[in-house]
Amino acid sequence: MLNRNVFIQRLNEVAVWDIIVIGGGATGLGIALDAASRGFSTLLLEQSDFAKGTSSRSTKLVHGGVRYLAQGNFRLVYQALHERGLLMKNAPHLVKPQSFIIPCYNWADKVTYLLGLKLYDSLSGRLSLGSSRFLDRQTVMSRLPSINEKSLIGGVEYYDAQFDDARLAINLAQTSCEKGAILLNYFKVTGLIKKNDKLSGILATDLETNKEYQLHAKVIINATGVFVDAIRGMDSPLAKPLVRPSQGVHLVFDSSFLGSRNGVMIPKTADGRVLFAIPWHGHVLVGTTDTPLNQTDLEPLPLEKEIDFILQTVRKCFSTAPNEKDILSVFAGLRPLAATVTDRGHTKEISRDHKLLVSESGLITITGGKWTTYRRMAEHAVNTAITITNLPHAPCDTKKLKIHGCRDSPFKDHLSIYGTDADGIRQLIKDNPSIGKKLIERFPNTEAEVVWSIRHEMARTVEDVLARRLRILFLDARAAIEVAPIVAGILQRELDRDEKWAKEQVGEFRSLAHYYTIMAYNLQPAIANN
């Protein structure tokens, strides 16, 4: 069970950790799980909440990367498709097959896309989710009722997988805990400790109490995503930048916009990317963009030009395209693209593969990659840790390791995403029926889920609950703002806080959530569809 107070009590029970992981996103959590499952004493520290950054802001796809085929990166696609298959087996309560349709407006595209996707199918081998195929015009129109029918000749259907990124992050943290790891959120690394020029530990501060700690380890792994250069700077002020951040923006609409259980892949956009429209938690997620940035931030803000780009692209492809007022939530995430100071041009041309470096002091830094390949990245990092230290050799077993919540026969209601934990939430309601009521009528989530997230998933703030445990902020920002006081009240009771703290929580959350609403952006009115 994830319990922050218990973890802090155990913090000083280990004189020297085998591995300390800095960063609680996909890569860091994967490393903690890999290391703990091999029997190493493992500590993970995250300066905010688990998956606060990039790892909760993805396009919600577990995929090989169709467009990487066009770049000739068959190795990356093959590896990612293999990892997709493993995740389907190890976390079936979270990772689901998803049908995608590519609308086609000329025969050349239709043939080209199918040939490419047949190659995509073959690279997935026995882990394939289904065979790609041609669809005629009438079939595309019936399965995508809102698609632009003008000049449409048909389409191509293929299969990938969809998931809830932040929910998988929590399940990885829980699995790591079950294997013996200690994981702490709101615990910021402030410095590195060296002995004879070799890294021997870290300085860290508990942000809830401001208590400082000196923690020692045989090896330290920097898995902080877009922030890896900040940690590398603590190690060596002369370290050259390893990451070039890129921003991706997503818009969320009501499910009526798409009106289909099928996802849509738009293969040609003005900036050379692909755009997805994906059914997700009863809504439709549309994205993404790729905007190079020169700075990193825990809470990146969408640019108005990015929002407009997505809207304009959608309007060209759908006959009943939504307008600005239809946007329920807008959010941005930063990609930690592994790059060098000599990289030029658009970030879509920079490799999505990961990069691992070992400094002279022994700091292991790993960055880049994507959610789909988190397990492979973790294996690489822990293997490297074994190589450069006196840690005993222990084989990786995460290929077959079931992730917390794993359940092959899902429930029929919204609690299915919790997997086996759904039974615990139902028991909470049985024990206290008053917390079985909905937080807000238009969402199925109950007060019991908030209680569960606090007691068992280390949610510490209103944002933790509404952004990453229940996902309401990412689905409907105004609904999240509306229920914030209820969530704050439950947190106040469960964490034994005072009323002043609860009011501050509501105020802080509303300030943050404002930038997830379209009201925060000055967009030009949409031009009516012809």
436: left (phi over 0), alpha (psi -120 to 50) or beta: alpha
pLDDT at residue 527 tops 60: no
Q: Mention every residue, 6+ apart, whose C-beta is less than 8 A from residue 289.
A: 247, 248, 249, 271, 273, 306, 309, 310
Residue 358 and residue 430 in one domain = no
CATH assignment at residue 257: 3.30.9.10
pLDDT, tens only, 72-114: 778 889 999 999 999 999 999 999 999 999 999 999 999 999 9
421 and 503 belong to one structural domain: yes
Residue 523 lies in a domain: no
- Tens of pLDDT along 489-524? 999 999 999 999 999 999 999 999 999 999 999 876
Look at residue 348 and tell me whether its pLDDT is greater than 70. Answer: no
List pLDDT tens digits, range 188-234: 999 999 999 999 999 999 999 999 999 999 999 999 999 999 999 99
Burial tier of 510 (Cβ tally within 10 Å: 0-12, 13-18, 19+): middle
Residue 192, beta-bridge partner list? 202
Domain of residue 352, residue span: 4-54+166-242+346-388
- Unique residue bearing structure tokens 């086609």: 104
Per the structure block, which two tokens stand in for 311?
A: 């809207």
pLDDT band at 342 (very low <50, low <70, confident <90, very high): very low
Cβ neighbours of residue 61 under 8 Å, at least 6 residues apart? 98, 160, 161, 162, 163, 276, 278, 372
Same domain, 456 and 505: yes
H or E stretch at 28: helix 26-37
Q: Does the pLDDT of residue 349 top 50, yes or no?
A: no
Joined together, the tokens standing for residue 418 give 């919790």
Cβ–Cβ < 8 Å for 358, 335:
no
User: What's the whole-number average pLDDT of the chain?
Assistant: 93
CATH number for 238: 3.50.50.60
**Phi then psi for 288, rounded to 5 degrees?**
-140, 180
Is 402 within a domain?
A: no
Q: Give the containing element (helix H, strand E) for 88.
A: helix 74-90
450 near 470, Cβ under 8 Å? yes
What tokens does 487 get? Answer: 């969530």
Question: Is 409 within the bounds of a domain?
Answer: no
Q: Are residues 158 and 170 in the same domain?
A: no
Can you give the length of the chain in residues? 530
Instruction: Classify residue 341: in a domain, yes or no.
Output: no
Let me know whether 147 and 238 are in one domain: no
Question: Model confidence over 439-474: pLDDT tens digits?
Answer: 999 999 999 999 999 999 999 999 999 999 999 999
Query: Quick check: 71 pLDDT over 80?
Result: no
Structural tokens at position 137: 């015009």
Decide which of 352 and 63 is more confident: 63
Tokens 């009323």 map to which residue? 499
Q: Are residues 125 and 89 in the same domain?
A: yes
pLDDT at 411: 72
Three-state DSSP class for residue 349? helix
Average pLDDT over residues 163-192: 98
- Tell me, what amino acid is at 240? K
Residue 65 lies in a domain: no
Tokens standing for residue 466: 């509404």
10 Å CB burial of residue 297 (0-12, 13-18, 19+) is middle
231/314 same-domain check:
no
Residues 154, 251, single domain; the answer is yes
Mean pLDDT of 140-155: 95
pLDDT of the residue at 343: 43
Are 153 and 176 members of one domain? no
Inside any domain, residue 526 = no
Q: Are 337 and 225 in contact (CB under 8 A)?
A: no
Residue that the structure tokens 């990609």 belong to: 335
Tell me how far apart the alpha carbons of residues 320 and 498 are, in angstroms, rounded to a whole number. 49
Instruction: Give yes or no: residues 438 and 501 share one domain.
Output: yes
Q: So what's the pLDDT on residue 351?
A: 52
Does 282 or 408 have the greater pLDDT score? 282
Q: Is a pLDDT exceeding 80 seen at residue 163?
A: yes
pLDDT at position 530 over 50: no
Residue 289 CB-density burial (10 A; 0-12 exposed, 13-18 middle, 19+ buried): buried
**Same domain as 432, residue 297:** no
Q: Is 178 exposed, middle or buried (0-12, 13-18, 19+ CB in 10 A)?
A: middle
Q: How confident is the model at residue 45 (pLDDT cuts 50, 70, 90)?
A: very high
Q: Would the pLDDT of 283 be above 80? A: yes
Tell me the two tokens of residue 382.
């822990």
pLDDT at 350 (0 to 100)? 47
DSSP for 40-58 reads --EEEE-SSSTT-SGGGSS
The answer on 197 and 111 residing in a single domain is: no
Residue 43 included in any domain:
yes
First to last CA, the chain: 56
User: 398 in a domain, yes or no?
Assistant: no
pLDDT at 341 over 50: no
Q: Are strands 198-206 and 291-292 parallel, antiparallel or unpaired?
A: unpaired
Segment 241-245 shows an average pLDDT of 89
The total of structural domains in the chain comes to: 3
Distance between CA 34 and CA 23 in Å, rounded?
A: 15
Alpha-carbon distance of 240 to 124, in angstroms, equals 37
